[in-house]
Amino acid sequence: MPVGETWTWTPPVGAGIGPDHELSLEISWCEEPSTSAPLTSAAPLAVVLIHGFGACKEHWRHTLPSLGAHLPTYALDLVGFGNSSQPRARLADEQSDHHSLHYGFELWGAQVAAFCREIVGRPVLLVGNSIGGVVALRATQLLNADAGPSPCSGLVLIDCAQRLMDDKQLGRQPAWMAWIRPLLKAMVRQRWLSTALFRNAARPALIRQVLRQAYPSGAHVDEELVDLLYRPSRRPGAAEAFRGFINLFNDHLAPDLLAQLDLPVHLIWGEADPWEPVTEARAWAGRFPCIRSLQILPGVGHCPHDEAPELVNPLLLAIAEQTSRPQQMPDQRAPDQQAT
């Protein structure tokens, strides 16, 4: 992994922070410089990698060096995760102050958009895993709403979060979810309880157990992976993002954002993902004209970029090359494909 850098960012009002308040955050990021750069042009493309909930920029350990050998590739820690700032979580109905943030897709989308404008400074291909996919979708809207130096030229969603726990999805859930949801929200509202739950979950043995579910092949579930997920959880404010997770019960949904996009979107999906069914990915591919391809990876789970980088990295490079030459993009959507 390249050496991490730090960028100071002040969220705008509306991106997790209330009016008349200002909060400076330290954002940890890294770049894998391009060594051969065959894709460069007058406005060379860069790739920005966005991790999922509970992960960090190091989760792209197999992606950064592979892509960075061909074009500038960045990864950053979302606020609340990794080595970025971890301010106190503010829930939707709690009083805003100078020391707390409303964790959610507005905050993270604004963070990624500002990072692209201020640090990357060139057109980007955004790549997001799990909730990082929803963050990428929201960041794209913000980036392309103005004529800045870093428009989003394309998106790759890797096992994008379908967020079935969202209140707007209650109709698709079992009946018991309707009564357990208020109980869960009430529990998390108690900071002492949410912190205790987080500390109990953030143990190497339990992390390893969850990873075995997420990585059904078992590939790359090693001590390095366990450590890169465990280490940030020991930071004093790590439990705050966990508490703020309750805000995601009423936040952006990927289909709503996809319906508003007209730039190329590519899906990469582990067929054995235990949490984000590939059936939904197929439905999205048939429903949204912006989706140009769906690559399904047999036997792979929720984090294909780390479980099967030998399959994912060539796909990302091909998409980056295609995105850098948009005039060659076909108008029609590509059919589902299985990578082997």
Decide: residue 265, CB within 10 A, 0-12 exposed, 13-18 middle, 19+ buried. Answer: buried
Q: Residue 24: which of 98, 107, 121 has the closest Cα?
A: 98
Give the predicted TM-score (pTM) of the model: 0.90
C-alpha closest to that of 42 among 122, 153, 147: 122
* Residue pair 198/191 in contact by the 8 Å Cβ criterion: no
User: Tens digit of pLDDT for each residue in 214-247?
Assistant: 999 999 999 999 999 999 999 989 888 888 887 7
pLDDT digits (tens, 9 = 90+) for 92-125: 777 777 778 888 999 999 999 999 999 999 999 9
Q: Residues 319-334: pLDDT tens digits?
A: 999 998 854 444 444 4
Which domains, ranges and CATH numbers included, belong to the chain?
A: 5-338 (3.40.50.1820)
What strand order describes the sheet that includes 291-297?
A: 5-9, 25-32, 73-76, 46-50, 124-129, 152-158, 265-270, 291-297, 336-338
Residue 196's SS3 state is helix
The pair phi, psi for residue 323, each rounded to 5°, is -65, -30
